[in-house]
Every structure is written in structure tokens, then in C-alpha cells.
């Protein structure tokens, strides 16, 4: 397993990285998958919007973009997260920054193991799983 976190132009640092690595292993194992190489890149709104435009043809801000490089049961990918949007959302939803960052990081992992959030029912299932794994982490 190779799970890494990178910080790109942001002073923010995620608390509990070692504990989070174990959570990722648990999430992936619960889906009967194998963890490969996963990189988290915490960056700015501007950088994530550029990625969103270049790779997804979406011209708007977002909190997370997952690039899935998985092959079969081996889960690999890159998860880009906007610290700016996560910070804004933590204020809007009245939760701590680390808690909202945890939610978004879990959300990215769920995308890598095959969950989507295009429909209302898919969004509800993603939220249920995010809540489950946040509770497990705590």
C-alpha cells in the first residue's frame, strides 16, 4: 500500500493522517478490494477549478475531484481537494475544518471503490457511507 498526502500552495495540514490511513484500509477492505497507490493532493480553489476545466470540462469550483486509476480489485487513484472550498463548507455546515476535510477525503475514496453521486439515491448512499466512516474514525 502506498497512501500519500501532498499539500499544494496551502498552509493547511490534516490532523490524524496515520489514523486516516488505517481507515482507508478498512473502507477498501470492506468493499473486498485491495489498496494500491492513492495520493491526496490538498490544493486551492484556483488550482482545482483549473483541473476541473482541463480534465472534466466543468467551469466551476468544487471540493473534490477523484481520478480513478484502479485495475480490477486493485484500488488506485488521485484525489484532489480544494482546501478553500472545504473551509467554506465547514463554516456553512457549522462543522470543524478537519471534520469536513475527513468527509471529503472519504468521499474521494468512495468514488475510487465504485460509488457515484449523480442521482439523489446515489447521493444519499454516499452520505450514509461518509457518516458511517466518520463515526468509525471518531
Predicted TM-score of the model (pTM):
0.94
pLDDT at 1: 66
pLDDT digits (tens, 9 = 90+) for 30-60: 999 999 999 999 999 999 999 999 988 788 7
Report the distance separating Cα 33 and Cα 123, nearest Å: 22
Report the distance separating Cα 61 and Cα 86, nearest Å: 11
Whether pLDDT at 120 is above 80: yes
CATH superfamily label, 2-137: Metalloproteases ("zincins"), catalytic domain (3.40.390.30)
Q: Which helix (H) or strand (E) holds 84?
A: helix 83-92
Buried b (16+ CB within 10 A) or exposed e, 54-69: eeeeeeeebbbbbbee
Q: Which of 19-33, 56-70, 100-114 has the lowest mean pLDDT?
A: 56-70
Amino acid at each position: 500500500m502506498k497512501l500519500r498526502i501532498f499539500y499544494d500552495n496551502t498552509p493547511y495540514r490534516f490532523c490524524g493522517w496515520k489514523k486516516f490511513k488505517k481507515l482507508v484500509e478498512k473502507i477498501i477492505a470492506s468493499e473486498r478490494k485491495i489498496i494500491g497507490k492513492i495520493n491526496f493532493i490538498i490544493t486551492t480553489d484556483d488550482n482545482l477549478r483549473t483541473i476541473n476545466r482541463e480534465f472534466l470540462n466543468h467551469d466551476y469550483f468544487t471540493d473534490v475531484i477523484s481520478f480513478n486509476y484502479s485495475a480490477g480489485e486493485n484500488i488506485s487513484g488521485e484525489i484532489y481537494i480544494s482546501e478553500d472550498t472545504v473551509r467554506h463548507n465547514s463554516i456553512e455546515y457549522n462543522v470543524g475544518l478537519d471534520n469536513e476535510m475527513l468527509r471529503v477525503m472519504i468521499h474521494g475514496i468512495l468514488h475510487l471503490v465504485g460509488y457515484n453521486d449523480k442521482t439523489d439515491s446515489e447521493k444519499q448512499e454516499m452520505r450514509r457511507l461518509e457518516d458511517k466512516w466518520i463515526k468509525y474514525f471518531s
